[in-house]
Chain A
């Protein structure tokens, strides 16, 4: 029998080269976050690559959502929060004094666990952000509303009732509307905090498929409690536990051959 030449790293057999070569976009350096005197994040270092999906997993209270909110400075809205270390997006420190937080949140969009459409029409939900950022031309707004709804795989379902209330949509549709609203202002990054956890399985599939489409244009960071969701949609996975980043690697590696026993115990459902 012919001698078998083992490849140097068998994992590479299923790792599309793009995953390894993607450029870094978000960098956290020794990030610590305190709620009063309690330390919620402990010296997190991570580099997140552009146009990939990165999942944050970990048991409740591990700091994954808190950490996600550092990237668009949502934690600024909470009293008594203090952050140390550095958070860079495209090499710029987003906590620098001269940073315009409104501009930052334009670059870094966010989708939450509970869909939160404005109590306005479907059309206005998307147009609102555009108008806020100074777009006045109606035909331009019309174009963006359509392309955003198409981008969020919602257009065909709502094109005949754009001026009806967004609150009349189903939960899954509302969540896709929120995604459409987020992409309308062309952010670089979309943060998603458990975007499908309040949805039924079919609506979840739609959101997951949508995320896989969106990563062609956007960098996505998603917090999820659903292990299978992380394996289905993410390229990289970060496992957090009690404020620490325990392991961060290719999703395939985290779910088939994690380096740390704690990670394996969590992803196989032994704790958490």
Chain B
């Protein structure tokens, strides 16, 4: 392994470190919501700085690596790393949103049993996990398989919106809680979008094919 290759390996490691922080932030935010655990929710919000800082580190490292005039796969790795870092940073932001809304929600009695939200979280996190696994192993078929799953999460989000809208119509005192839950649902839907973005970047990285914005033909 040349020195440059070991620098690229270190970049990948940093990205994975960032991913692990983002993943645990989302998992903890959902746990804080379900368990009504305010301490955990606050911890998630505070931990976001770490992910933000890692994004800056990844970007700075990428700029330094680009200055060394990398070519072909290495060039794609560095530019993809910058994009993946941004998506992971956004995932961290969504985790913070979920944690903050959980803090609001725990001020009032629980509106309904949380079934769809943890399910959406599981689906979105599985997508992110697969996209990152594909990144590590260069497995583009695994990355491609992530993309259509975004629709399932979108579907659940819409379904939850309809349900919460009917709650609000029936009983306006639930509006605050419903709006908080809608925001959480939207945050999870966005996390799935970010996972899809990462998957698309992985295909670009290993196949040099840009499959974004191709609708149903993408996968």
Contact = CB atoms under 8 A, between A and B. Distances in A.
17 contacts: A1-B96, A2-B48, A2-B49, A2-B93, A2-B96, A4-B49, A5-B49, A6-B56, A10-B56, A13-B56, A13-B60, A14-B57, A14-B60, A14-B61, A205-B2, A256-B63, A256-B64
Interface string B21-58: 00000000000000000000000011011001100110
B4 A232 contact: yes
Task: Name the 6 nearest CB pairs between A and B, nearest first.
Answer: A2-B48, A255-B67, A13-B60, A228-B69, A231-B68, A14-B60
Given A13-B57, A231-B69, A256-B67, 5 more contacts: A2-B48, A10-B60, A14-B60, A209-B2, A232-B3
Given A1-B48, A2-B96, A228-B69, A14 B64 contact: yes
A208 B68 CA distance: 13
A3 to B, nearest CB: 8
A99 interface: no
Contacts of A11: 60
A147 interface: no
Interface centre among A13, A205, A256 (most CB of B within 10 A): A13
A213 to B, nearest CB: 9
B64 A252 contact: yes
Query: Interface SS of chain B: helix, strand, loop or mixed?
Result: helix
Interface of A: 1-2, 4-7, 10-11, 13-14, 205, 208-209, 212, 227-228, 231-232, 252, 255-256
Contacts of B69: 227-228, 231
Nearest to B97: A1
Nearest to B68: A231
A145 B20 CA distance: 49
Interface residues of B, number: 21
Contact of B56 (A7, A205, A252): A7
Contacts of A256: 63-64, 67
B98 to A, nearest CB: 12
A232 B97 CA distance: 41
A2 B60 contact: no
Contacts of B60: 10-11, 13-14
Interface centre among B2, B56, B67, B96 (most CB of A within 10 A): B67
A13 B97 CA distance: 27
A209 B3 contact: yes
Contacts of B93: 1-2
Nearest to A2: B48
A10 B57 CA distance: 8
Nearest to A254: B67
A227 B67 CA distance: 9
Contacts of A231: 67-69
